[in-house]
Amino acid sequence: MVDIDTLLSWKPTDLAAVGDRLNEDRRTLLDLQDEVDDGYPPSTWTGDGSTAARTNHTRLRDDLNDLVAEIAPVITAIDSAASTILAAQQKVEAARQTIAARGWLLSTAGGQVRADPPAGAEEGDGDREAVQGAVDEITTALSDAQQADADLAAVLGNAESNQYDGGTGTLSDAGLPPHLQGLSEAELVDYFMEHPEETAPYVDQLSTQQQQALGESLAGQLERLDYGDWNYGDQETDADDWLTDSELAQLNAQLAAFGHNATVATTALNQIGPETYLELQQNLLMPHGDQGTEPPTIGTMGESQRQLGALLAAGTSGITADGQAGSTTHVPEEWVDDLVDHATSTDYNYNWGPDTVNGLQLLGVAAGEPGHGTYFLNRLGSEVERYEADYMAENGGVPWSQWSSGPDSRLDYTAYGADDGRSWDELMSENRLDPGTPSGFDPMAGVFEGMAHNPDAAREFLSGDPYVAEGQDAPENRIDYYLNDREWDTSPHEDEWVTGMRHFGDALVSATTESPTPVSADLAEQAVTAAQGGALDDYPSLQRDYATILGAYMPDVYDAFSGPGAQDLQSQGDTNPWLPGEQTADMRARFSEAELRDVLQQVGQDETAGQNLTGAATLYANYGYDAVFSGAVDAGAEGQDLTGQWNSRLDNAVSSVNSPFADVVGSLGEGYSEHLRAEGLRADQEASNAGDGYWQAGGYVANKLAGEIPFVGAVAPDVVDAAVDGITGLNDVDTTNEVRADIGSYVYNTEGALQGVAEGAVYRNLPVDYLQQYAPELVGPDGRAVPMNEWTQAQADAWASLNGTSGPGGVAGQLSSDLADQLDGSASQTERQDGN
């Protein structure tokens, strides 16, 4: 089986880029059809030479057909492998953090994935189940990646051995199944439109001319959804002509099959135009119950919105600059400008009522689909900002909330799957607000959702994009503005997971961690600075987003907390291997220690966020211990004997790993203790309101200490008893300091979580001849150190005995002891930072 290191070394984005280049090559080959036809020797040629020429031409044509035929499955296999491998890598990284956060040891020895608890440590409540789930995720991910690799190898092998026959027809026929070869263009388009699911895999193999014909046919179907001008109550089509649910579902299937193709989408968009595109979005929201017995369901409506968004993305994503002309694969830049300008200047009726929404809101729903280009997203985002600023200057409030509380208040149905069979009337009567699903009224939520899928667009916008209109003042610092100053929609649609803020956080993660550039590091710094003073307190989604960001920049988090004499743990060739890609020194984030501590406390308030970030901190501690004890970052140890070298490495590990790790976990724990305190105060108030005169939070806190506190694991029973005795003995007092005094030091006791990591790093790097001399039981018959997860009890005892010595073998024990001291002190250090 593929192992973890091998999987993480693969580069799926590079593989996908190869597929893109092959697709371009295929398009070039398909467009050679005229040259192939014109190159056939004319009938006026006679003699033996003419016969040979025609034979050679036929052979070359057939070879070219075979080449086109074999490119198609290769591209499909490459795309499939790239997406599978990327998903597998993401699963493995997440699972490793889950395992590391609980201090367990991950191993793939012998081709089997397993995880073991650290020696001598008790398991926390739920640890085994969580770790086993993570192990299963890794096993599945490795299996999926291996299968993708094997499938791709098989296709490449078939191509290399000429197993694909392109026939003797046209180049575009070469990649099609036999029953589609030889059809006229009109017949081919008709067949595709009638059988979208069957023909979807072949749309990219059509010639440019055939794809354009398909786009024209698709535009004709889209125009059936254009019911006329509703804005003044004039319906220009009869209700009998409105699409039923099955007809709209067929259009959705055609869009899903062909609308992703850039040439098809470009042709369709050019034919319908920007104004009609907006009217199509409006018309989805208008006729709900008047299509006889088969009105569109909310699932079909939502699928239509998704597919119209994808169509717009496919036809506009190739635009990269102002004034760019159109091509066969994207509309001209002015098409997007006309779309945005018409949207901002037009209000549309919706849901049969007199209420109207602005066209920017309709575009906001479309913008949330993946695939949109940088130009469109930034142009739309800047226009939303301008519209908001002008409206607020004139009216004193944001424009979007005025539409979000009406009786039929919903624009966005994309949260509902295509198979959701409820009617619009049923949704409105059951739960028209449906908190937690996007309402669609705030277009900036959709813009940021789109940017979450496009890191370049997110970086460009958050760092100050170039599409700000003349005379428009963009926010000086967009991260600070959207985090602290902008008024997000908090209508009845929303719960604590405010849609707009959630998508803003997703875009921030994308900008800082995906395919990062030097701008990414700068934005990460801005994000930490902007979050000061409790900006994340009310948003669990943002707390988890910041955990992701800081986890990606964990080397820089450690640097911010490293003590005197700490060494840079990064390799010289790649200064930040924690992030993907080839990194350089200008991609390091320089965090302020005080600001970082404040943000970590906010992140720690959410259990999942704190656990995720502690997992990243533990993984990086493992990386750091290995760097230190392998000698890769030795400093001042030249010329020393083995004991001197390892004492120097111990000092380095203390300052470079233990100290920052304790600060990270201590700050997270401080935030979680604040969460516990708040829960205690809430319970106290509820108890007082009920006439009960004592604080009721003791049971809650005790249960948490018994095994549910994140980043800690199990806590000894006597510790729980002490905490319960101390807390439940309090009667109606200010709980702030008491909670800290009674549970603070216990919350931060993460010694067990990192003990196994530290011991493992020391053990892995001890010279075998040293083990042979002082603990020969630990050396196997093959002359190598026996893996820790394969130890017998006698070998575990030998290691414990070695830990008690003063030489290199005792470093693990000293390291764990120092870590315990560091963690015990992290709470008071955090409180001093807060001025308490």
- Both tokens of 583, joined, read 């990194």
- Element housing 6 (H / E): helix 4-9
* pLDDT of the residue at 744: 40
Give the other-Cβ count within 10 Å of 251's Cβ.
Answer: 22
Cα separation values, 517 from 98, 341, 581, 588, Å: 27, 32, 9, 10
Give the CA angle between residues 685, 688, 689 to the nearest 5°: 85
* pLDDT of the residue at 718: 37
Q: Is 407 helix (H, G, I), strand (E, B) or coil?
A: coil
Confidence check: pLDDT of 573 > 50: no
- Both tokens of 98, joined, read 């889950």
Q: Is 297 helix (H, G, I), strand (E, B) or coil?
A: strand
| Whether residues 623 and 673 fall in one domain | yes
- Residues 484-511 have pLDDT tens digits of 998 886 654 455 457 788 899 999 999 9
CB 580 within 8 A of CB 589: no
Cα separation values, 771 from 593, 774, 788, 791, Å: 40, 5, 13, 14
Alpha-carbon gap, residue 836 to 828, rounded angstroms: 9
Query: Looking at 413, 436, 468, which one is the last position of a domain?
Result: 468
CB 117 within 8 A of CB 68: no
Is position 180 within any domain? no
Cα separation values, 549 from 524, 569, 613, Å: 7, 19, 9
Q: Where are the alpha helices (DSSP H) in 123-244?
A: 127-160, 171-174, 185-194, 196-199, 208-222
* pLDDT of the residue at 207: 84
Is position 262 within any domain? yes
Write the DSSP symbol of residue 397.
S
**Residues 6 or more apart in contact with residue 158 via CB below 8 angstroms:** 70, 73, 164
- Both tokens of 662, joined, read 């304790």
Is position 420 within any domain? yes
Alpha-carbon gap, residue 284 to 303, rounded angstroms: 11
- Both tokens of 440, joined, read 């669609």
| Whether residues 164 and 190 fall in one domain | no
CB 555 within 8 A of CB 620: yes
CB 359 within 8 A of CB 342: yes
| Whether residues 134 and 191 fall in one domain | no
Alpha-carbon gap, residue 621 to 101, rounded angstroms: 11
| Whether residues 158 and 192 fall in one domain | no
CB 489 within 8 A of CB 525: no
Is position 205 within any domain? no
- Both tokens of 211, joined, read 């794809």
CA dihedral 442, 443, 445, 448 (to 10 degrees): -160
Bridge partners (DSSP) of residue 347 are 358
* pLDDT of the residue at 396: 81
Write the DSSP symbol of residue 779.
B
* pLDDT of the residue at 230: 55
Residue by residue, DSSP assigns 389-420 as HHHHHHHSS-SGGGGTTSTT-----TTS-TT-
Residue by residue, DSSP assigns 171-185 as HHHHTS-GGGTT--H
If you compute the radius of gyration of the chain from its CA atoms, what whole number of angstroms results?
Answer: 32
Q: What percent of the chain stands above pLDDT 90?
A: 30
Give the CA angle between residues 455, 460, 464 to the nearest 5°: 145
Is position 504 within any domain? no
CB 754 within 8 A of CB 621: yes
Can you say how many angstroms the Cα of residue 700 is from the centroid of all Cα atoms in its chain?
Answer: 34
| Whether residues 153 and 192 fall in one domain | no
| Whether residues 217 and 316 fall in one domain | yes
Please report which confidence band the pLDDT of residue 64 belongs to, taking 50, 70 and 90 as the band edges.
Answer: low
Mean pLDDT across 332-341: 96
- Both tokens of 67, joined, read 């080449």
| Whether residues 164 and 231 fall in one domain | no
Q: What percent of the chain stands above pLDDT 70?
A: 70
Mean pLDDT across 97-122: 71
- Residues 359-414 have pLDDT tens digits of 999 999 999 999 999 999 999 999 999 999 899 889 887 788 655 455 456 788 99
Residue with tokens 């300052």: 655
CB 569 within 8 A of CB 629: no
- Residues 182-225 have pLDDT tens digits of 889 999 999 999 999 999 988 988 888 999 999 999 999 999 88
| Whether residues 148 and 215 fall in one domain | no
- Whether the predicted model's global pTM rises above the 0.95 cut: no
- Both tokens of 728, joined, read 């439940």
CB 526 within 8 A of CB 591: no
Query: Looking at 468, 501, 524, which one is the last position of a domain?
Result: 468
| Whether residues 156 and 264 fall in one domain | no
Taking alpha carbons only, the member of 254, 311, 306 closest to residue 284 is: 306
Alpha-carbon gap, residue 515 to 456, rounded angstroms: 8
Tell me the residue length of the chain. Answer: 836
- Residues 801-830 have pLDDT tens digits of 998 888 898 888 888 888 777 776 654 444
Alpha-carbon gap, residue 574 to 262, rounded angstroms: 37
* pLDDT of the residue at 805: 86
Bridge partners (DSSP) of residue 330 are 327
- Element housing 553 (H / E): none
Confidence check: pLDDT of 538 > 90: no
Mean pLDDT across 151-174: 67
Alpha-carbon gap, residue 698 to 720, rounded angstroms: 10
Alpha-carbon gap, residue 781 to 797, rounded angstroms: 19
Is position 528 within any domain? no
Mean pLDDT across 322-327: 91
Please report which confidence band the pLDDT of residue 265 belongs to, taking 50, 70 and 90 as the band edges.
Answer: very high
- Both tokens of 545, joined, read 């987003």
* pLDDT of the residue at 59: 66
Average pLDDT of the chain is: 78
Confidence check: pLDDT of 112 > 80: no
Residue with tokens 């030097």: 518
Write the DSSP symbol of residue 46.
-
Taking alpha carbons only, the member of 460, 477, 487 closest to residue 526 is: 477
Alpha-carbon gap, residue 99 to 753, rounded angstroms: 10
Count the domains in the chain: 3
Is position 50 within any domain? yes
- Both tokens of 151, joined, read 């499938």
Please report which confidence band the pLDDT of residue 610 belongs to, taking 50, 70 and 90 as the band edges.
Answer: confident
Structural domain containing residue 369: 186-197+211-426+449-468
| Whether residues 695 and 672 fall in one domain | yes
Q: Is 524 helix (H, G, I), strand (E, B) or coil?
A: helix
Alpha-carbon gap, residue 229 to 708, rounded angstroms: 58
Alpha-carbon gap, residue 184 to 175, rounded angstroms: 16
471-479 long-range contacts, CB within 8 A, separation 24+: 472/382, 472/385, 472/386, 472/389, 473/389, 474/382, 474/385, 475/385, 477/526, 477/530, 479/508, 479/523, 479/526, 479/527, 479/530
* pLDDT of the residue at 704: 34
Higher pLDDT, 230 or 331: 331
* pLDDT of the residue at 720: 33
Residue by residue, DSSP assigns 333-362 as HHHHHHHHHHHHT-EEE-TTSS-EEEHHHH
Residue with tokens 């040979």: 52
Give the other-Cβ count within 10 Å of 220's Cβ.
Answer: 13
Please report which confidence band the pLDDT of residue 717 belongs to, taking 50, 70 and 90 as the band edges.
Answer: very low
- Residues 737-787 have pLDDT tens digits of 444 443 343 333 355 556 677 888 888 889 999 999 999 999 999 999 988
Q: Is 671 left (phi over 0), alpha (psi -120 to 50) or beta?
A: alpha
Is position 92 within any domain? yes
Q: Where are the alpha helices (DSSP H) in 515-592?
A: 518-530, 540-552, 554-561
Higher pLDDT, 26 or 36: 26
Taking alpha carbons only, the member of 677, 679, 590, 664 closest to residue 620 is: 664
| Whether residues 276 and 167 fall in one domain | no
| Whether residues 619 and 655 fall in one domain | yes
φ, ψ dihedrals at 526, nearest 5°: -60, -40
Taking alpha carbons only, the member of 649, 623, 656 closest to residue 767 is: 649
Taking alpha carbons only, the member of 604, 628, 617, 593 closest to residue 677 is: 604
Query: Looking at 438, 468, 498, which one is the last position of a domain?
Result: 468
Write the DSSP symbol of residue 111.
G
Confidence check: pLDDT of 344 > 90: yes
- Both tokens of 26, joined, read 């295929």
Taking alpha carbons only, the member of 361, 247, 263 closest to residue 311 is: 263
Please report which confidence band the pLDDT of residue 622 belongs to, taking 50, 70 and 90 as the band edges.
Answer: confident
φ, ψ dihedrals at 115, nearest 5°: -140, 135
Amino acid at 597: R
